[in-house]
Amino acid sequence: MKEKVSIVWPEAHYRLRQETGAAAPELLQEVRREAWARFVAQGFPTLKQERWRFTDVSALAESDWCQALEFAGPDRLPVGEAALLDPSAYRLVFINGRFSPQESRLPDGAESFTLHLSSALHNGMLERAGERMRETMAQSETPFALLNAALAEESVVVTIPDRLSLLVPLEIVHHVDTPDPAVVHPRVVVFMGDRSEAQLTEIYSGGADSHHFTNPVVDVVIGAESRLTHYVVQRESPAAHHISYTRATLGRASQYGRFAFDFGGRLVRHDLTVELAGQEAEATLHGLYMPEGRQHIDHHTTLRHLQPHTYSRQLYKGILQDKAHAVFNGRIFVAREAQRTDAIQHNKNLLLSDEALADSQPQLEIFADDVRCTHGGAIGQMDQEGLFYLQSRGIGAALARQIMVHAFAGEISAAIRSEFLRTQIEQLVHERLGSEE
């Protein structure tokens, strides 16, 4: 018999959402009801399930979470957080789940892309967004995506039309700082037309002592010959829990580049599904996670090659200290129709402590016979020969160690196209590991 885990707090939150969500469009209320029914049937995952056997989420189920919206809190970001934001970017800021107009920076109307909150959707966009949410809900393998669909307070829908090259980055910031354990369920839907280009940056942060749970879902649809560069920076408090689900669907000859950076959180899990649904679609995925203490960070990626001549590259790197634990599970699926697929996946972990632990599980599932698919995983400690080489040239042991660790991380940060964001990420790496100077 399947082990069941209590869903007391989700039930209470769902009842409240039903009572207060009457003003939401009926289509979105239907999605909410369907998601809740599926979540109740499925429940929270347990260690007995293969996809969750390394990540124990029982604390999330058993905690008595409040809704972050219950805490008024500030309507502005802390000075330190605001300093990390790109001054040239358009920006949507949510603090404790509430939209903050004071901290946001939106287009003045001259731009031709649109930003909508789900409560204000109407006409064809409502149906399009609702249908995408329903489709994602039906395909997701994680119950936390269902929980998001059932409990999300508000969704952000971004529409980028055909032939628009958005030169200004778009940032979506979620900051949580509450005195009691609280939960937020951010939801973002992005529709890109054909032959368009954009940069999207998600930033998740929190108060230094905030014990909260962030449960975001991001939906991305990329039109033919379009390119989206997508950055995710997670730097929440050491007591925070963060579990995300991202689904990206790529059209013909489109390009999707994603970078995930994890510095904070007590328990972190990212589930990512990328569907290469058009011929010649390309996906390039990078990840850098740097847990310390007893942090647990888990990346589960699935690339679905569904059409011929598609291309993907994955490189995820972990730098683990103290008693940290990291998990990487990367799955490449190649459909029978997806001939001439070219897919390479690598996961590398550097253990800076004898007590740090990394689990790496690359997987291939191939039904086509004319493909180039490889994968690899590596887990190891500092290269002693490399350290000896640097020290033999007069470099001290501590500095030699710093140089090697920063070089290991630098392969990811050097690939960041945004100069501003690359500088910020390198600074966060320095803060975590120590500068080379």
Q: pLDDT (tens digit, 9 = 90+) per residue, 35-60?
A: 999 999 999 999 999 999 999 999 99
CA distances in angstroms from 191 to 140, 223, 251, listed in the order given: 19, 8, 11
What dihedral angle (degrees, nearest 10) is formed by the CA atoms of 43, 45, 50, 52? 160
Residue 120 pLDDT exceeds 50: yes
Average pLDDT over residues 103-127: 80
- Same domain, yes or no, for 260 and 392? no
What integer is the mean pLDDT of 329-347? 96
Q: Is the pLDDT of residue 191 over 90?
A: yes
Q: Is residue 351 part of a domain?
A: no
pLDDT tens digit string along 1-13? 345 556 889 999 9
Does the residue 163 lie in any domain? yes
User: Looking at the structure, do residues 62 and 204 belong to the same domain, yes or no?
Assistant: yes
Dump pLDDT digits (tens) for 387-398: 655 666 667 667
In a domain, 403, yes or no: yes
Residue 309's pLDDT is what? 98
Query: Same domain, yes or no, for 109 and 245?
Result: yes
Note whether 154 and 116 are within 8 A (CB).
no
* Mean of pLDDT values over 315-319: 96
In a domain, 338, yes or no: no
Whether 285 shows a pLDDT value over 90: the answer reads yes
Structure confidence at residue 209 as a pLDDT band (50, 70, 90):
confident
Quick one: average pLDDT of 279-291? 98
Residue 310 has pLDDT above 90, yes or no: yes
pLDDT score at 72: 67
Cα three-residue angle 125-243-26, rounded to 5 degrees: 30
Q: Is residue 111 part of a domain?
A: yes
Alpha helices in 270-393 (DSSP H): 384-391
Q: How many domains does the chain have?
A: 2
Domain boundary among 243, 278, 313: 278
The answer to the question of residue 223 being in a domain is: yes
Q: Out of 278, 307, 325, pick the residue that ends a domain.
A: 278
170/382: higher pLDDT = 170
Average pLDDT, the chain: 90
385 confidence band (pLDDT: 50, 70, 90):
low
Residue 436 predicted with pLDDT over 50: no
Q: Are residues 47 and 167 in the same domain?
A: yes
Q: What separation in angstroms does the CA of 314 have from each of 199, 301, 342, 392?
A: 19, 9, 12, 35
Phi/psi for 231 (5° steps) reads -110, 140
43 shares its domain with 188: yes
What is the length of the chain? 437
Range of the domain at 251: 8-278
Which segment of 184-193, 333-342, 370-379 scores lowest on mean pLDDT? 370-379
Whether pLDDT at 164 is above 90: yes
Same domain, 256 and 393: no
Looking at residue 14, what is its pLDDT?
93
What mean pLDDT is predicted for residues 17-44? 85
Other Cβ atoms less than 10 A from the Cβ of 6: the count is 12
Identify any residues that bridge with 118 across adjacent strands, giving them in sequence order.
Answer: none
Residue 70, pLDDT score = 76
Decide if 369 is inside a domain.
Answer: no
Q: What is the pLDDT of residue 321?
A: 94
pLDDT of 173 strictly over 70 = yes
Is the four-CA dihedral 141, 306, 191, 123 of positive or negative sign? negative
Residue 352 pLDDT exceeds 80: yes
- The DSSP-derived string for 83-115 is TTS-TTSEEEEEETTEE-TTT-B---S-SS-EE
User: What is the value of pTM for the model shown?
Assistant: 0.94
Instruction: Tell me whether residue 373 is in a domain.
Output: no
Q: Which residues contact 12 (CB under 8 A, 6 or more apart)?
A: none
Lowest mean pLDDT among 166-175, 223-232, 264-273, 385-394: 385-394
Residue 63 pLDDT greater than 70, yes or no: yes
278, 305, 330 — which closes off a domain? 278
Quick one: 274 and 418 in the same domain? no
pLDDT confidence of residue 376:
87
Q: Which DSSP letter does residue 278 get?
A: S
How far apart, in whole angstroms, are the C-alpha atoms of residue 201 and residue 245?
A: 15
Of residues 362 and 226, more confidence is placed in 226
Q: Which of 190, 376, 401, 224 is nearest to 307 (CA)?
A: 224
Rounded to an integer, the average pLDDT of 259-286 is 98
Q: Is the pLDDT of residue 332 over 80?
A: yes
